[in-house]
Amino acid sequence: MPDRRPPVRSRVAAAPDLGQTMTVSLIAFAILLGGDVAWGASDAAVTKAHGISTFGELKYPVDFAHLAYVNPDAPKGGEFSMSWLGTFDSMNPYSRKGRAGLLASAGYEDMMVGVADEIGALYCLLCETVEYPDDRSWAVFNIRPEAAFSDGSPLTAEDVKFTYDLFLAEGLVSFRAVLSQYVESVEVLDSQRVKYNFKPETPVRDRVQVAAGLPVMSKQWFADTGAVLDESRLEPGLGSGPYVLERYDINARIVYRRNPDYWGRDLPINVGRANYDRIRVEYFGDASAALEGFKAGAYTFRNENSSKNWATAYDFPAVQDGTVIKTELPDGTIATGQSYVFNLRREKFQEPAVREAIGLMFNFEWSNETLFYGIYGRIDSFWENSELEPEGPPPPAEIALLQPLVDDGLIDASLLTEPPVGAPASGARQLDRANLRRASALLDAAGWAVGADGMRRKNGQTLDVEILEDSPTFDRVHSPFVSNLKALGLNARLNRVDPAQYTDLTRNHQFDMVVDQFPTGYEPGSGLQQYFGCSGVEDVFNSMGLCDPAVERLIEHVMAADTRETMQTAVKALDRVLRAKRFWVPQWFKDAHSVAFFDFYAYPKPLPPYALGELDFWWVDETRLEALKAAGKI
């Protein structure tokens, strides 16, 4: 069964590099190490460094030659091709308007970027160094003099300030809230130096990363075109990244080409990366058509997200004769938090007992055995597959954070003594009778009585639950869930719409339940506000519309943590409270990438722990490619 792949969202703090799948918080605490210490006129110590490490020393020194996990001799050339489902009508990934094409943000770069073998570290990309005082009341980014946009025009401090002003005025609501919360002002010191002044009341930990995580856009391009950020348009804009848009056919394909004049191609951070001449995305209307397209050679790399396909569909001749490699590669990243999500903006879902009862009707064990060929594990935590997942009753350090919330009536006292709320276990039959009885008791107590027709009503209204979906691949999961909900007396149904409708309905919060994901991070910070905070209620990230005072206070503790230990304690306490809110029905995850590709791709061995990197640091082996062509295999 598939992992959910939602419509491409506008990037705020995106994966730090093209195609990198690890979760790296670009809004996190910063301690800059490995640099020089200078002294300003006020005699305050100022650190000057090439990178940021949250709670420790940077892995890579200032004079590193290349990242440890890349092949520095990887050849440039060839094409990477992949599939995507649905449609697109825009190439602007920074607006809620329109449905952006996949990888539409590939042409933009941030001031600093993360790496795939180190948690909590960012390294200068557009900047050469960053400076900050001990109190981190400001940060100065020293922009590389060679930094340039893809048309060859210089990237300057004026462009950085322009981008800040643009996102502050037109960015997503939650992003504007974070930006305005942290940044007092931005100053252009000269053409290559830009200074961020931070508000003194903000957590020190997040300040530098708020600035470092902004993509940089061309001020001149916006002036010449009259474009705005918050609009749907097919012109992606002018960025500085290694790839530029070459062409597109609406709802059919998108092709990006490597810019041969890319300004940063020789930087140590980029050695062995961005190796393809072209990246091609083929769009398909449904998953079955996409799989058949792969078999026919319409594209050449597939990250399979259907357990049924993985177990049964890869017996075609190209796999049998070795033309296509089918393999599993390790995935050390935190699970995505894939789940059914309730829309808490709707009154019928305000009662936790109602949400708990509905959650009891999803039978993961039966689904995994019957539908998924037993390949998945169950998600319990928002930090599943990491050391940040809490276990057992909370220890004293967590209790110290949770007790005030109990005292203020914000959470139940059971959170102080019980293990964290877990996903309910079910039996081997699709409809687990024990869970049905538990769910019935919860709804009875909440006033949803069963009538003579078997339907539950409260104040004369049935309990209607609609699952909104745009992919037929999910039908075989949703349908048994809907059937179980009907057995509980709910007026349940699956509403499958086309991708454009799905985008419109979800962005306007017109749904009961959807499948969504909640990527977190190993060192989370202000980004938590977008997914779980009140400032994100109107955005696409906080799909459930969660605005909870206990969650807000714990997010503040996470953001204010100044050691790894205090951060981990706060995250575990937050996870306990998020799970107790029961706004999700967690689904499944797999700690491996299930990939199939034509045997002309190569990758470093071993792979880094936090990225598959197929778009980042894989490459085309021309000898193998020519051999396949000569044999008529491709």
DSSP notation for 68-82: TTS-TTPPP--EEEE
pLDDT in tens, 182-235: 999 999 999 999 999 999 998 888 789 889 999 999 999 999 999 999 999 999
- What residue spans define the domains of the chain? 8-332+591-634, 339-589
Q: Which has the minimum average pLDDT: 18-27, 131-140, 227-236?
A: 18-27
Task: Give per-residue pLDDT as tens, 325-348.
Answer: 999 999 989 999 999 999 999 999
Write down how long the chain is.
634
Lowest pLDDT segment from 31-40, 67-76, 108-117 = 31-40
pLDDT digits (tens, 9 = 90+) for 416-474: 999 999 999 999 999 999 999 999 999 999 999 999 999 999 999 999 999 999 989 89
Bigger pLDDT: 272 or 32? 272
Confidence of residue 44 (pLDDT cuts 50, 70, 90): low
pLDDT at 16 over 80: no
**CATH code of the region 339-589:** 3.10.105.10
pLDDT tens by residue, 553-607: 999 999 999 899 999 999 999 999 999 999 999 999 999 999 999 999 999 999 9
| Element holding 627 (H helix, E strand) | helix 622-630
With a cut of 90, say whether residue 60 has pLDDT above it.
yes
Pick the range with the lowest mean pLDDT from 19-33, 119-133, 224-238, 310-324. Answer: 19-33
Q: Give SS3 for 96.
A: coil
Per DSSP, the three-state class of 417 is coil
Percentage of the chain modeled with pLDDT above 90: 82
Q: How far is CA 547 from the centre of its chain?
A: 20
Note whether 222 and 162 are within 8 A (CB): yes
Q: Mean pLDDT across the stretch 158-162?
A: 98
- H or E stretch at 458: strand 456-458
Give the pLDDT confidence score for residue 25 in this predicted structure. 31
The per-residue pLDDT for range 274-303, each reduced to its tens digit, is 999 999 999 999 999 999 999 999 999 999
pTM value is: 0.82
Residue 582 DSSP label: T
How far apart (Å, rounded) are the C-alpha atoms in residues 270 and 142?
A: 19
pLDDT at site 57: 87
Per-residue pLDDT, 1: 46
What's the confidence (pLDDT) of residue 34?
35
pLDDT class of 118 with cuts at 50, 70, 90: very high
> If DSSP codes are grouped into helix, strand and coil, which group holds residue 47?
strand
SS3 (DSSP) at 364: helix
Half-sphere exposure for 11 (CA within 13 Å, toward CB):
26
Instruction: State yes or no: pLDDT of 33 exceeds 60.
Output: no
Task: Give me the pLDDT at residue 430, please.
Answer: 97
* Residue-averaged pLDDT of the chain: 91
Strands (E), 119-182: 121-124, 127-133, 138-143
CB 136 within 8 A of CB 153: no
CB-CB neighbours of 630 under 10 Å:
9
Task: Give the up-direction half-sphere exposure of residue 104: CA atoms within 13 A in the CB hemisphere.
Answer: 27
Three-state secondary structure call for residue 263: coil
User: What is the per-residue pLDDT for 449?
Assistant: 97
Its CATH architecture, for the domain 8-332+591-634, is 3-Layer(aba) Sandwich (3.40)
Residues 6+ apart with CB under 8 A from 5: 85, 305
User: In which residue are the tokens 């940044």 written?
Assistant: 183
3-state class (DSSP) for residue 308: helix
Average pLDDT estimate for 174-178: 80
For 407-435, letters b (16+ CB in 10 Å) and e give eeebbeeebbeeebbebbebeeeebbeeb
CA distance 195 to 30: 16
**β-bridge mates for residue 325, sequence order:** 597
Residues 6+ apart with CB under 8 A from 228: 170, 222
Nearest Cα to Cα of residue 85 among 5, 142, 190, 9: 5
**According to the model, what pLDDT value does residue 525 have?**
83
Kindly provide the b/e burial profile for residues 296-308, where b requires at least 16 CB atoms within 10 angstroms of the residue's own CB. eebbbbbbbbbbb
Residue pLDDT, tens place only, 495-548: 999 988 998 999 899 999 999 999 898 988 878 988 999 988 887 889 999 999
- Give me the mean pLDDT over the 250-255 stretch: 97
pLDDT for position 116: 96
Region of poorest pLDDT, from 17-21, 37-41, 501-505: 17-21
pLDDT at 38: 43
